[in-house]
Structure 1
Amino acid sequence: MTERQQQLVQNVEKHRQMILDAERWLWAHPQTGYTEWEAHNYLVEKYEALGYSLTLAGNIPGFYTEVDTGRPGPKLAIFGELDALDIANHPESVNGMAHCCGHNGQSAALLGIAAALKEPGALDGLCGTIRLVAVPAEEMIQLAFREDLRKKGVIQYMGGKVEFMARGMLDGVDIAMMVHGGAAGPDEAFDFSGGLGMNGCMAKTIRYKGKSAHAGGAPHLGINAQYAAMLGLQACNDLRETFQEKDTIRFHPIMMGVNCAVNIIPDEMKIESYVRGRSLEAIKRENIKVNRALTGAALAMGAGVELSDRPGYSPEYHDPAFMKLVEDCCCDLVGKDRVKFDYESWSTGSSDFGDVTCVMPGVQFFAAGAIGTGHGIDYYVKDPNRMCVNAVKAQLFVADALLRDDAAAARKIIADYKPQYPSIKAYLDAINELFLDKDAVQYDEHGNATVDFQN
């Protein structure tokens, strides 16, 4: 560890208790995407107490603030996510919600970065700007609620980072990073890890429409929407062998339940799902097959089906040169034997950080310190020093490495990176083509059907 890095560590240590207190407070106040006002208000108060001026997202939770070094250079964004999951069976859930993905640790770490950057000498030798971004709604859940927000004009997109992109809150940013909390297994004794990237996803809402009737006395007069939905999901399952392994396609629907008594033929069944994949091209291609299968099942039962597709998250790609810089900084902090970076590994999960990497170089890496299963009822933050305090130090090491020496490292990474889209506008224009709303089966008076399940 260099003398400069030792100074950064000391800057963080001055605020250790504040970071740990924030992690516990946020854990105890979980809220799901686009409703995280408790976390928002708590963090606004903390940032303003540190002397920061905030740019608020407005009618949704979240904000950003900037640290200007006073010398021209690139703009680095560092993210902390606000949202929790709805998981009522978690022993420490609050109103059915819990931070069983560790976002509370991210936000506590981001606050720690903000505090450490106020220390004397924190910006010595640096150029450019650091933008600290507290962002809502990373988890792609509660699709009906978010669609309602979209229809009301509150949001344009389901995910928080792409929504921030649309609102101009990432304008001018050149390069980005974030740390996600993670759980290391018993045979995985590491503090930091990272991989090449992860899947993107399409968000889907499916509504089968039938006809109610007496389930015992006159079932022949009804059209069972639940059966149509079951048939549709079976058809989708039968497609799985056609998904190519190179595309890492995932389709994982949940049936939302019927809204009628047991003696009534159900006239409606809603389903939510994603189609995930390694590229947008693969997602679009396989989603057409899925929609065809869902539509065919409705046709077989004489039912209707409404298909609503929404852009979810784009595949997340971590620039290898940026990864190497991050890995080196983590090794400087905790030693090579505590760092595990794999430049070929690919996750089949999804994150809206992928939307960011479509237009700029970015790396999301992981800080151990949790136990249990991510998104599971046994997930807890066991060691907040590793997951939060170490994450502050590592991110400050990275920011320092990027922006010192006239930002030579950042400038090279930015110059060499080949984003999938040349600008945020170009990216938004591309994903806007993914919106789909189709009443996919139309019957005439003779029972003949017309199907239409794609743009």
Structure 2
Amino acid sequence: MIMDEIKLVKEAVEKHSSLIFETEKFLWAHPETGFREWTADQYLKNVFRGLGYDIVEAGDIPGFYAELDLHTAGPCIAILGEMDALPCQGHPDADPVTHAAHACGHHCQCAALAGVAAALKEEGVTTGLCGKIRLMAVPAEEIVDLAFRVSLIEEGKIHYLQGKPEFIHRGYFDGVDMAMLIHAGSQAPGTLLKVRNGPTCGCIVKRMTFIGKAAHAGARPGQGINALYAANTAITAANALREKFDDDDHIRFHPIITEGGSAISVIPNRVVLESYLRGSNLKAMMRYNRMINQAFAGAAASIGARLEIHDYPGALPMKNNPVLRQTAKQAVELLEGEGTCLLSSEIWSPGGTDLGNLGSLIPVVQPSTTGIEGVGHSKEFRIKNPYHCCQIPAECLVMMTRLLLRDGAKRAKEVIAKAAPEFASKEEYFAAMEAFSTRGEVVNYAENGNISIQLS
């Protein structure tokens, strides 16, 4: 029985291996950053339509989903593929104009997604399963091109900086009970799949604009208000807070100056800092973010500068669901042999993903493969073994689907029953996301000389 199931899954995916590898090659050659993935979007939609799927398009942004109804009531599983690349100047395969490159391997997820979509159409693959399977091509996991994304928010095209929160807002995850994707990675020899234990870091995306007063830097510096000095003072003040950060919250704050003055001879009147505030604990992130905003406002006030703070909710901390972790391990070891999956025991992961936003509402899992070469997000990043990064994930996702939805969806129902989401509803989730937001001037100068700080 088990051997028959292994054979069924492997043959169903192998039959479409050329589609998987062609998709990987095409997307690698056409990298696009988040909310700009129109070439990938169209290519994948053509693949899905060619397989006989009906597509629900996001429309004004890239991305879509297709749903396979198994015609017997049961849970709905979402299988995801992220479409976006990221800027990676100097990468030999980067786009010559945008400098975008698939230096995180998201395109492999989409290649695997295409393989899953094809395999699920093969005879016998969904026999005996109940529920629904929602296959989703999702944009914008990486937070890059901040000015562009803020412009989309201001135009009303998007509400959030990342794809999964935006899809949650649009209702594309409504009715989904759990979600999974498999990310490209690198493991020790013999390990084909790794599933982390502890949470990833979430982040608040911060843009802080110091506004001073220009003056001649040599002849009349005293007539100016130096926005760059205000920014430097703010960074020093924030650094003085670091000893207050609890180690268990894994707080990281790493600002950069993206605008620092226009001319050497002019006192800078506008300086822009951008940063993430990262952490593995949602409440701690909110607490420390307020402390940093207060420090920045105090620094601006000490110089006499104005300060605009724009905080945007980014990724939330993500923890893999325990039952889904075990299901991923069982699936890959059925397919590839005992000992090929590592359930790691670390209590924290320094990376981040907007799968955490979805995971705050429903159970999720994101294993990582072997098969890459070089450091992620670097110009040395390569897909060394497309079979390990694309085809094995497709096989694993199909097998996981079978394990979850067979026998009356017994395993999937166990996942749902044991889940403990951060938020009880979308409304509660959206309220928390809005609580991250600080937008506008925070230092007020009264005519009588009084100075006040207003933090939302």
TM-score between both structures, scaled by the size of structure 2: 0.96
Q: For the residues of structure 1 that align with 2:296 and 2:147, how far apart are their CA atoms?
A: 19
- Match of 1:358, as an amino acid? S
Pick the aligned partner of 2:159 from 132, 146, 156.
156
Q: For the residues of structure 2 that align with 1:343 and 1:82, how far apart are their CA atoms?
A: 29
Q: For the residues of structure 2 that align with 1:16 and 1:233, how far apart are their CA atoms?
A: 51
Q: For the residues of structure 2 that align with 1:183 and 1:314, how far apart are their CA atoms?
A: 24
- Match of 1:180, as an amino acid? H
Indicate whether 1:411 and 2:413 are aligned.
Answer: yes
Pick the aligned partner of 2:105 from 102, 114, 117.
102
Indicate whether 1:191 and 2:228 are aligned.
Answer: no
Instruction: Quote the residue 2:17 is aligned against.
Output: 16
Q: For the residues of structure 2 that align with 1:19 and 1:350, how far apart are their CA atoms?
A: 26
Q: For the residues of structure 1 that align with 2:226 and 2:32, how far apart are their CA atoms?
A: 36
Residue 345 of structure 1: how far off its partner (Å):
3.5
Instruction: Quote the residue 1:390 is aligned against.
Output: 392
Q: For the residues of structure 2 that align with 1:115 and 1:11, how far apart are their CA atoms?
A: 8
**Is the CA contact 2:261–2:267 (under 8 Å) kept in the aligned structure 1?**
no
Pick the aligned partner of 1:372 from 350, 358, 374.
374
Q: For the residues of structure 2 that align with 1:447 and 1:109, how far apart are their CA atoms?
A: 63
Q: For the residues of structure 2 that align with 1:188 and 1:291, how far apart are their CA atoms?
A: 45
Indicate whether 1:361 and 2:399 are aligned.
Answer: no
Q: For the residues of structure 2 that align with 1:206 and 1:2, how far apart are their CA atoms?
A: 59
Considering fraction of residues, name the structure with more strand. Answer: 1
For the residue of structure 2 that corresponds to 1:373, the secondary structure is: coil
For the residue of structure 2 that corresponds to 1:349, the secondary structure is: coil
Residue 343 of structure 1: how far off its partner (Å):
4.0
Q: What does 1:260-275 align with in structure 2 at a 5 Å threshold? A: 260-275=262-277
For the residue of structure 1 that corresponds to 2:25, the secondary structure is: helix
Residue 222 of structure 1: how far off its partner (Å):
1.5
**Is the CA contact 1:117–1:123 (under 8 Å) kept in the aligned structure 2?**
yes
**Is the CA contact 1:143–1:272 (under 8 Å) kept in the aligned structure 2?**
no
Instruction: Quote the residue 2:128 is aligned against.
Output: 125
Q: For the residues of structure 2 that align with 1:3 and 1:80, how far apart are their CA atoms?
A: 28
Instruction: Quote the residue 1:331 is aligned against.
Output: 333
Q: For the residues of structure 1 that align with 2:16 and 2:345, how far apart are their CA atoms?
A: 33
Q: What does 1:21-40 align with in structure 2 at a 5 Å threshold? A: 21-40=22-41
String of CA shifts for 1:115-155, please: whole Å, max 9, x gaps.
11111111111111100010001112222221111111100
Instruction: Quote the residue 1:7 is aligned against.
Output: 8
Identify if the C-alpha distance between structure 1 residues 428 and 2 changes in structure 2 by more than 3 Å, giving closer, same or farther: farther
**Is the CA contact 1:77–1:177 (under 8 Å) kept in the aligned structure 2?**
yes
**Is the CA contact 2:204–2:276 (under 8 Å) kept in the aligned structure 1?**
yes
Instruction: Quote the residue 1:245 is aligned against.
Output: 247
**Is the CA contact 1:138–1:351 (under 8 Å) kept in the aligned structure 2?**
yes
Q: For the residues of structure 1 that align with 2:361 and 2:422, how far apart are their CA atoms?
A: 6
Instruction: Quote the residue 2:45 is aligned against.
Output: 44
- Match of 1:127, as an amino acid? C
Q: What does 1:333-348 align with in structure 2 at a 5 Å threshold? A: 333-348=335-350
Instruction: Quote the residue 2:451 is aligned against.
Output: 449
Indicate whether 1:212 and 2:214 are aligned.
Answer: yes
Q: What does 1:421-436 align with in structure 2 at a 5 Å threshold? A: 421-436=423-438
- Match of 2:46, as an amino acid? E
Instruction: Quote the residue 1:171 is aligned against.
Output: 174
**Which range moves more in the overlay, 1-10 or 407-416?**
1-10
**Post-superposition, which runs of at least 4 consecutive aligned residues in structure 1 deviate over 4 A?**
none
- Match of 1:80, as an amino acid? G
TM-score between both structures, scaled by the size of structure 1: 0.96
Instruction: Quote the residue 1:285 is aligned against.
Output: 287
**Unmatched segments (≥5 aa) in structure 2:** none
Residue 446 of structure 1: how far off its partner (Å):
5.2
- Match of 1:246, as an amino acid? D
**Is the CA contact 2:212–2:225 (under 8 Å) kept in the aligned structure 1?**
yes
**Is the CA contact 1:320–1:343 (under 8 Å) kept in the aligned structure 2?**
no
- Match of 1:388, as an amino acid? C
String of CA shifts for 1:401-437, please: whole Å, max 9, x gaps.
0001110000111011121112223211322222211
Pick the aligned partner of 2:256 from 254, 257, 265.
254
Q: For the residues of structure 1 that align with 2:396 and 2:446, how far apart are their CA atoms?
A: 64
Residue 238 of structure 1: how far off its partner (Å):
2.1
**Is the CA contact 2:228–2:261 (under 8 Å) kept in the aligned structure 1?**
no
- Match of 2:60, as an amino acid? N
**Is the CA contact 1:443–1:449 (under 8 Å) kept in the aligned structure 2?**
yes
- Match of 1:137, as an amino acid? A
Residue 255 of structure 1: how far off its partner (Å):
1.1
Residue 447 of structure 1: how far off its partner (Å):
4.2
**Which range moves more in the overlay, 436-445 or 312-321?**
436-445
- Match of 1:53, as an amino acid? D
For the residue of structure 2 that corresponds to 1:76, the secondary structure is: strand
Instruction: Quote the residue 1:61 is aligned against.
Output: 62
Q: For the residues of structure 1 that align with 2:219 and 2:30, how far apart are their CA atoms?
A: 50
For the residue of structure 1 that corresponds to 2:439, the secondary structure is: strand
Identify if the C-alpha distance between structure 1 residues 2 and 254 changes in structure 2 by more than 3 Å, giving closer, same or farther: farther
Pick the aligned partner of 1:137 from 129, 136, 140.
140
Instruction: Quote the residue 2:72 is aligned against.
Output: 71
**Is the CA contact 1:243–1:249 (under 8 Å) kept in the aligned structure 2?**
yes
For the residue of structure 2 that corresponds to 1:202, the secondary structure is: strand
**Is the CA contact 2:191–2:340 (under 8 Å) kept in the aligned structure 1?**
yes
Instruction: Quote the residue 1:89 is aligned against.
Output: 90
**Is the CA contact 1:183–1:373 (under 8 Å) kept in the aligned structure 2?**
no
String of CA shifts for 1:313-343, please: whole Å, max 9, x gaps.
1111212122111111122222233321114
Root-mean-square deviation (CA, aligned residues, Å) is: 1.4
- Match of 2:437, as an amino acid? F
Q: For the residues of structure 1 that align with 2:338 and 2:233, how far apart are their CA atoms?
A: 52
String of CA shifts for 1:339-384, please: whole Å, max 9, x gaps.
2111443212211100111111111110111111111121111111
Identical-residue share of aligned pairs (%): 40
Identify if the C-alpha distance between structure 1 residues 189 and 224 changes in structure 2 by more than 3 Å, giving closer, same or farther: farther
For the residue of structure 1 that corresponds to 2:194, the secondary structure is: strand
For the residue of structure 1 that corresponds to 2:48, the secondary structure is: helix
**Unmatched segments (≥5 aa) in structure 1:** none
Q: For the residues of structure 1 that align with 2:249 and 2:106, how far apart are their CA atoms?
A: 28
